[in-house]
Amino acid sequence: MTASDEKFTRQTLLEVSTLTPSLFTLRTTRDPGFRFRAGQFARLGVTKADGSTVWRAYSMVSAPHDDVLEFFSIVVPGGEFTSELSRLRVGDELLVDRQAFGFLTLDRFVDGRDLWLLATGTGVAPFLSILQDFEAWERFERIFLVYSVREAKELAYGELIAGLGRRDYLEEHAHKLRFIPVVTRETHPGALHGRITALIENGELERAADQALEPAHSRLMLCGNPQMIDDTRARLKTRDLQLSLSRRPGQVAVETYW
């Protein structure tokens, strides 16, 4: 089998940055033929000492137009993949599937005025990709990035988020974005305190955004902890905000690869 026949490409690890003892980012080279839509994910593979390969799915943090690929990961104690990944150093090889996957993309919505991006933990990754692409800024009048973590030190990519509006291709749309950090296990200045579902239920999220969640205008994307997704979907359903399906356009899109 030639390299072009393989279902993956062999990329080089360019950078590994530790954010906290349990969170890190990594950047790799990008195959010129690899294409993806903002919000999609790829399977990454690490070759073990015995020659076998372990694979895991990761959303791209990077934008579709970037020359490199960036990923955001949590360290799973004793986890097979992150244990292998932690042994890699800059210059080592990482396998990347040739094909991107996932449906957490803006084409899930046929209309809408306000885009809500609700994330917990590393689930913020696909939303960072979406926010670095032009489509969301062009299509929506308001964008709310709601990013929930347990402790404030876990709020990653602050510089990237703050700098979005200074990018040449986004500058005229900078006023559209509202960043709403949420911290669940401690109080933190400038952040809401409590779980996303509770903040929806008690109205605090909408008050912070100064905007109502309403079927006519709101389009929501959820990514992160599976329990958060299930609970939030149930809460939104009581507000007549329904999952968007190919056979029935709706107001909510979720990622289920976790």
Closest CA to 253 of 116, 104, 53: 104
Residue matched to tokens 């015995």:
50
Residue 186 scores a pLDDT above 70: yes
Mean pLDDT of 81-101: 92
Q: What is the Cα 113 distance to its own chain's centre?
A: 21
Residue 3 scores a pLDDT above 60: no
User: Is residue 187 domain-shared with residue 168, that is, in the same domain?
Assistant: yes
Mean pLDDT of 167-188: 96
Beta strand 8-20 with 252-254 is unpaired
In percent, the amount of the chain with pLDDT more than 70 equals 97
User: Is residue 245 domain-shared with residue 186, that is, in the same domain?
Assistant: yes
Closest CA to 258 of 235, 231, 229: 229
3-state secondary structure the chain: CCHHHCCEEEEEEEEEEEEECCEEEEEEECCCCCCCCCCCEEEEEEECCCCCEEEEEEECCCCCCCCEEEEEEECCCCCHHHHHHCCCCCCCEEEEECCCECCCCHHHCCCCCEEEEEEEHHHHHHHHHHHCCCHHHHHCCEEEEEEEECCHHHCCCHHHHHHHHHCCCCHHHHHHEEEEEEECCCCCCCCEECCHHHHHHCCHHHHHHCCCCCCCCEEEEEECCHHHHHHHHHHHHCCCCCECECCECCCEEECCCC
Q: 98 is written with which tokens?
A: 């040739």
Closest CA to 223 of 72, 67, 16, 43: 72
Residue 216 contacts residue 250 (beta carbons within 8 Å): no
Residue 77 scores a pLDDT above 80: yes
Mean pLDDT of 192-210: 98
User: Is residue 231 domain-shared with residue 148, that is, in the same domain?
Assistant: yes
Closest CA to 229 of 114, 156, 148: 148
- Tell me what pLDDT residue 258 has: 54
Mean pLDDT of 184-210: 98
Distance CA 59, CA 69 (A): 10
Residue 225 scores a pLDDT above 60: yes
- Tell me what pLDDT residue 53 has: 95
User: Is residue 85 domain-shared with residue 156, that is, in the same domain?
Assistant: no
Q: 135 is written with which tokens?
A: 């489509």
Compute how many other C-beta atoms are within 10 angstroms of the C-beta atom of residue 27. Answer: 20
Mean pLDDT of 182-204: 97
Mean pLDDT of 77-81: 89
Residue 98 scores a pLDDT above 60: yes
Q: To the nearest whole number, what is the mean pLDDT of the chain?
A: 94
Residue 153 backbone dihedrals phi, psi, to 5 degrees: -65, -15
pTM of the model: 0.95
Residue 39 pLDDT grade (very low, low, confident, very high; cuts 50, 70, 90)? very high
Residue 247 scores a pLDDT above 90: no
User: Is residue 51 domain-shared with residue 161, that is, in the same domain?
Assistant: no
Mean pLDDT of 190-217: 98
Residue 113 pLDDT grade (very low, low, confident, very high; cuts 50, 70, 90)? very high
Find the range with the poorest average confidence among 17-21, 142-146, 236-240: 17-21
User: Is residue 166 domain-shared with residue 222, that is, in the same domain?
Assistant: yes
For residue 17, the cross-strand partners are: 25
User: Is residue 113 domain-shared with residue 236, that is, in the same domain?
Assistant: yes
User: Is residue 20 domain-shared with residue 120, that is, in the same domain?
Assistant: no
Query: Which domain covers residue 53, as residue numbers?
Result: 3-97
| Domain boundary residue, one of 97, 132, 152 | 97
* Residue environment code for 123-149, b if the CB has 16+ CB neighbours within 10 A, otherwise e: bbbbbbbbbbbeebbeebebbbbbbbb
- Tell me what pLDDT residue 255 has: 85
The enclosing domain of 43 has a CATH number of: 2.40.30.10
Residue 163 pLDDT grade (very low, low, confident, very high; cuts 50, 70, 90)? very high
Residue 2 scores a pLDDT above 60: no
- Tell me what pLDDT residue 1 has: 45
